[in-house]
Amino acid sequence: TQLLEQSPQFLSIQEGENLTVYCNSSSVFSSLQWYRQEPGEGPVLLVTVVTGGEVKKLKRLTFQFGDARKDSSLHITAAQPGDTGLYLCAGAKGGATNKLIFGTGTLLAVQP
Amino acid sequence: DTEVTQTPKHLVMGMTNKKSLKCEQHMGHRAMYWYKQKAKKPPELMFVYSYEKLSINESVPSRFSPECPNSSLLNLHLHALQPEDSALYLCASSQVRKNTEAFFGQGTRLTVV
């Protein structure tokens, strides 16, 4: 079984704080996607990283793909209440089936 | 248009009922997926269709029956479900190529009574 472990599992912080979410695996992935999901809604794609060592920025969010393409991190600067949600990483093995393997999830609550 | 539309948004059904979940996308994606998600857990893959053919069935019980009538539509037929099947059912679509991105619908919240 290919597992993607996320840490921390839960995170409650105050508005304005910084945080980092980690997504780790022993498997190599051809790409890794990050999603944010709000209660009762579907996951919304934030970013896809493909190249080992790649760093992508989306406003206050910074995503990094590990050099060996086994792990990734999401850093949020100056968190806001609107960042609250379930953050999911998902690894793709490539190939025609496009099977995504989801991480265990990080539930983030940003208090005003 | 990056929208995947799922209907209904909510569904309550008895254990002897037959119902269907529907999913539609007009992005030209030829891969479509069904996922099941329990509260505060990650989505679990159920089925993958590629070019309207079933390519992955993750050992899902036969009371769940998928159907892909054309490249834009994906159905999930439900029959004789159990209360433990209550969950958020998510549909997603993507292109059929390496490192493609998957786009999800809002889901159907299913409650089996």
**For the domain that residue A57 is a member of, what is the CATH number?**
2.60.40.10
State the total domains in chain A.
1
Report, as an integer, the average pLDDT of A5-26: 96
| Chain B residues whose beta carbon lies within 8 Å of the beta carbon of residue A29 | none
A100: contact with B, CB 8 A cutoff: yes
B94: contact with A, CB 8 A cutoff: yes
CB B48 within 8 Å of CB B30: no
Query: What pLDDT is attached to residue A89?
Result: 96
A88: contact with B, CB 8 A cutoff: yes
A46: contact with B, CB 8 A cutoff: no
Nearest CA to CA, how far is A23 from chain B (Å)? 13
| Residue A1 reports pLDDT greater than 60 | no
Nearest CA to CA, how far is A56 from chain B (Å)? 15
- pLDDT, tens digit, for every residue of B13-66? 999 999 999 999 999 999 999 999 998 899 999 999 999 999 999 999 999 999
Report, as an integer, the average pLDDT of A69-93: 94
Residue among A28, A15, A19 nearest A87 (CA)? A19
Query: What pLDDT is attached to residue A40?
Result: 85
CB atoms near residue B87 (< 10 Å): 20
pLDDT exceeding 70 applies to what percent of chain A? 94
Look up the domain containing A32 and give its range: 5-111
